[in-house]
Amino acid sequence: MRFSFRSVAAVASLLALTAVGCKSEPKQTFPAQPVAWQLTDLQANVLAQQYLNEHTVAAPRTCIAELRQPDGWWLMYLTPFDSTAKPPVLSYLIEVRNDGTVRQFE
């Protein structure tokens, strides 16, 4: 069985078009996911105060130290001196991360 030149050319061009049509698209690049920005010391202090209020830490308490970390803040709080209490001064070290999570170091 012989094929004409036209039919061979038509099949060859269809195969070429099919190959081009099936070619995968280049990978799309999307912008990076948003990340939490560095909190200010005031914002970290507000979040830490809310945490201490939720965990019934007696007021008044004073923030005596702040230390910026790559992913948030460390804040240290002291309660007033009470000679009858054991221990007479309570201290709390709170970590506030830039994503808003707060935890206390034990």
Q: pLDDT grade, residue 20 (50/70/90)?
A: low
pLDDT for residue 23? 62
Q: Closest Cα partner for 94 from 82, 79, 106, 80?
A: 106
98 with 74: CB under 8 angstroms? no
Type and span of the H or E element at 16: helix 5-21
From the CB of residue 37, how many other CB atoms can be counted at a distance below 10 Å? 8
Instruction: Give the distance, in angstroms, between the CA of residue 72 and the centroid of all CA atoms in the same chain.
Output: 11
79 with 58: CB under 8 angstroms? yes
d(CA 96, CA 29) in angstroms, rounded, equals 33
d(CA 3, CA 44) in angstroms, rounded, equals 80
pLDDT digits (tens, 9 = 90+) for 40-99: 999 999 999 999 999 888 788 899 999 999 999 999 999 888 888 888 888 999 999 999
d(CA 58, CA 89) in angstroms, rounded, equals 11
pLDDT for residue 36? 67
pTM: 0.64
Q: pLDDT grade, residue 19 (50/70/90)?
A: low
